[in-house]
Structure 1
Amino acid sequence: MSISHTSSEANFHLLLLVLLAVAASDVVVTASYSSIHELLRSNGLPAGLFPESVKSYKLDQKGRLEVQLDRPCLAKYENRVLFETVVSANLSFGQLKGLEGLSQEELFLWLPVKDIIVNDPSSGLILIDIGLAHKQLSLSLFEDPPVCRSQGSSLYTAGRKIIGFQDQR
């Protein structure tokens, strides 16, 4: 009788060790990169896909990435992009798939960005899937994390000045 008790106790300890190992490996995934930008680079994506103002991020064992910002904000690449407070996606090498919390302005419409893909880094191109269309842009647009500004009328003026447009009188 004591053998089965010892056996079930051993199984319990083994199960506990497995659960601890799984939990520890999840922590290692998120702790092994000093920033979201380093994580992106190590996965074949440009560092500038997320703004410099990222508050925190989590990456689980299944590759689900969740990025936290202080507040929703706008950035400028080729077009304006809106980051919600939380942006999430499935991260795999060269891909952010199933994005949520990211929209891009196209012809005065805000369209959700669904996927961001770098098939071949040597091509210098990145594919942005906005549902209705796939846009190929230069990877160089995404080299550095953009400055992300709060939404509002002052943003538009500030954004115009940043990219070199002058008010015409």
Structure 2
Amino acid sequence: MSLTPRFLLALFGLLLPLTVAHSSSSSIHSLLQSHGLPAGLFPQSVKSFNLDQNGVLEVHLDRPCLAKYENRVFFESVVRANLSFGELKGLEGLSQEELFLWLPVKDIIVKDPSSGLILFDIGLAHKQLSLSLFEDPPICRSQGGLLKIVGRKNFGFQEQR
């Protein structure tokens, strides 16, 4: 084998994609389920996502938006985390409202799916929620539009669906 074909073969190996890019929002929900997480952790407005060989998940939304599970959550237009079975660790781009404060969600963990619980690490505390809140992807609305639609006092989970 001459130097040129070896060089081309090595170059080809380097150019192989290191990430898997997906463009359908239903794929992110299937990916989450295959990793022991509920399908509804990310909203319906996911336009694409990448999962690299090291397990770094990058989710792209149409725009930053608000959704509601038990409390309001804010998704930035890009959310990143390390994905492993039952865990999204080192989250960036997701915040949860607690007692009128917006706190970054650091980790989301499902230790035992049979328990029916999911753990949200918001830094100051760990919050356990029912997995049933995350069965379906929520509708995510722009922050201004959401306040106009439901008003500040009537913001509720059922009103968003």
Tell me, yes or no, whether TM beats 0.5: yes
- Structure 2's unaligned 5+ residue stretches are none
4+ aligned runs moved over 4 Å, structure 1: none
- Structure 1's unaligned 5+ residue stretches are 1-5
Quote the Cα distance in structure 2 between the aligned partners of 1:159 and 1:87.
Answer: 28
Of the three residues 47, 62, 71, the one matched with 1:55 is 47
Return the letter of the residue paired with 2:90: G
Quote the Cα distance in structure 2 between the aligned partners of 1:87 and 1:116.
Answer: 13
Match of residue 63 from structure 2: 71
The more displaced of 56-65 and 101-110 is 56-65
Of the three residues 5, 16, 35, the one matched with 2:11 is 16
Quote the Cα distance in structure 1 between the aligned partners of 2:149 and 2:50.
Answer: 29
SS in 2 for 1:13: helix
- Scaled by the length of structure 1, the TM-score of the pair is 0.82
CA RMSD of aligned residues (A): 2.4
Alignment of 1:121-140 (within 5 A): 121-140=113-132
SS in 1 for 2:143: coil
Quote the Cα distance in structure 1 between the aligned partners of 2:153 and 2:7.
Answer: 59
1:122-147, CA deviations, whole angstroms, 9 ceiling, x for partnerless residues?
11111100000001111111010011
SS in 1 for 2:154: helix
Match of residue 21 from structure 2: 30
User: Greater helix percent: which structure?
Assistant: 1
- Scaled by the length of structure 2, the TM-score of the pair is 0.85
User: Greater strand percent: which structure?
Assistant: 2
Question: Is 1:141 aligned to 2:133, yes or no?
Answer: yes
Count of residue pairs brought into register by the alignment: 156
What's the offset of the Cα at 1:10?
4.4
Q: Percent identity?
A: 71
1:31-53, CA deviations, whole angstroms, 9 ceiling, x for partnerless residues?
5x852111111111101000011
What's the offset of the Cα at 1:161?
6.4
In structure 2, do the counterparts of structure 1 residues 70 and 122 end up closer, same or farther at CA, with 3 Å as the change threshold? same
SS in 1 for 2:141: coil
SS in 1 for 2:148: helix
Quote the Cα distance in structure 1 between the aligned partners of 2:152 and 2:64.
Answer: 16
